[in-house]
Amino acid sequence: MNLIKGDKLTSEAVMRPKLSRRTALKTLFSTAVSTVLLQSGRKASAHDFKGYETNRGVLVDLTKCIGCRSCEAACNKEHGLPPPKIPFDDLSVFGQNRDGHTRRTDQSRYTVVNQFESPLWEQPLFKKIQCNHCLEPACLTACFVNAYTKTPEGAVTYNPEVCVGCRTCMVACPFSIPAFKYDSALDAQIMKCNFCFDTRLSNNQPPACVEACPMEALTFGYRKTLLRIARKRIRENPDNYVNYIYGETEAGGTSWLYLSPVPFDTVGFDTSVPKQPILNYVKDFLGMVPMVLTIWPALFAGIYLLAHRKNQYTANPSHEDLNDENHTG
Ligand code: SF4
Ligand code: SF4
Ligand code: SF4
């Protein structure tokens, strides 16, 4: 386990919305989206919430991960999830990565590790995914019954007691993380990583997956400290890392951050995720319209398009990242 010294803690059947449904939404509500953006564009720039100072996070270093799946096993045990179809010690599971297919989180697994090959790196690369615990979660803002909570510790938690099963959060999430538990049709439930908030984070303990990692590929601590550590690793080992921290700005910033030795888009990262919080625009619009439920379909479409719009960027070396340690410190 990699835990930063000095940190004090306080306090499949995933039927994801199908492409056809998403395409239909785009067509049906594209006009409404334009309206949302036009009316809220100016206010979005005034957005000033940068997340909690106490926000914890995890730095995932792809150069250290060996794909042992200990983190998957620990998460499964911690949360009493069903046993996997392929045991955690069976690494043939990575064969499922062929043809670009990657395993996703679903109702029975809050985290998965996928394998990637890169001509730029001698060894196979492994990437763990889970909820990224965004600083300004699209899932939270999209949920009109307030089933989601962003805690000061950084976790984005979910309350099934108030969830109505609309699955807007699943569409809103730019990382396609929330999954729907379909065998509970009368008892709607979204399934996703909760940063081990109830069992660990709120009790001054790091997440189970971090604790289980034998390679210290996962480092837990304050997000601002993790950013400094990430920059230091890049600065001291420029041949080992792409000069970019995935999650520093994606979707307005996430609690889980990644370092990679090869360009992120070649190892399964969506580099088209907007840098602004997805819901910046829509939040302002929500404040202007009291009849939220009446206009919800239009907002729903806007949320989807904002979350998934293609916004190409080039991960150019950022000298500011390397030179301005005080930027986030
Ligand atoms: S990654 Fe998705 S589910 Fe997790 S906090 Fe961000 S928007 Fe919500
Ligand atoms: S933080 Fe907890 S819930 Fe999330 S992937 Fe790790 S062990 Fe699972
Ligand atoms: S436990 Fe650590 S080394 Fe093993 S797969 Fe997970 S992140 Fe990688």
The per-residue pLDDT string of the chain (329 residues; one tens digit each, 9 = 90 and over) reads 555 544 443 332 222 233 334 333 333 333 333 334 333 333 333 345 667 889 999 999 999 999 999 999 999 999 999 999 899 999 989 886 666 678 999 999 999 999 999 999 999 999 999 999 999 999 999 999 999 999 999 999 999 999 999 999 999 999 999 999 877 556 779 999 999 999 999 987 999 999 999 999 999 999 999 999 999 999 999 999 999 999 999 999 999 999 999 999 999 999 999 998 876 655 555 554 444 444 555 566 666 666 665 443 333 333 333 233 222 22
Separation of CA 216 and ligand 3 centre (Å): 8
CATH number of the domain that 209 lies in?
3.30.70.20
Q: Could you identify the residue written with the tokens 């995935």?
A: 246
Tokens of 306: 């904002």
The set of protein residues with a Cβ atom below 6 angstroms from ligand 3 is 65-71, 113, 126, 128, 212-213, 215, 217-218
Q: List helix spans (H) across the chain.
A: 19-44, 70-78, 138-142, 168-172, 208-212, 223-236, 280-288, 292-308, 319-323
Q: Which ligand is nearest to the CA of 130?
A: 2
Give yes or no for a contact between 295 and 287, defined as CB atoms under 8 angstroms apart.
no
Separation of CA 60 and ligand 2 centre (Å): 13
Give yes or no for a contact between 136 and 277, defined as CB atoms under 8 angstroms apart.
yes
| Cβ–ligand 1 contact at 192 (below 6 Å) | yes
**Containing domain of residue 28, as a range?**
2-327
The residues, ordered by sequence, that sit 6+ positions from 132 with a Cβ below 8 Å of its Cβ are: 175, 177, 247, 250, 251, 254, 255, 256
Reduced to 3 states (helix: H, G, I; strand: E, B; else coil), residue 220 is strand
Separation of CA 193 and ligand 1 centre (Å): 9
Count the domains in the chain: 1
Give yes or no for a contact between 183 and 191, defined as CB atoms under 8 angstroms apart.
no
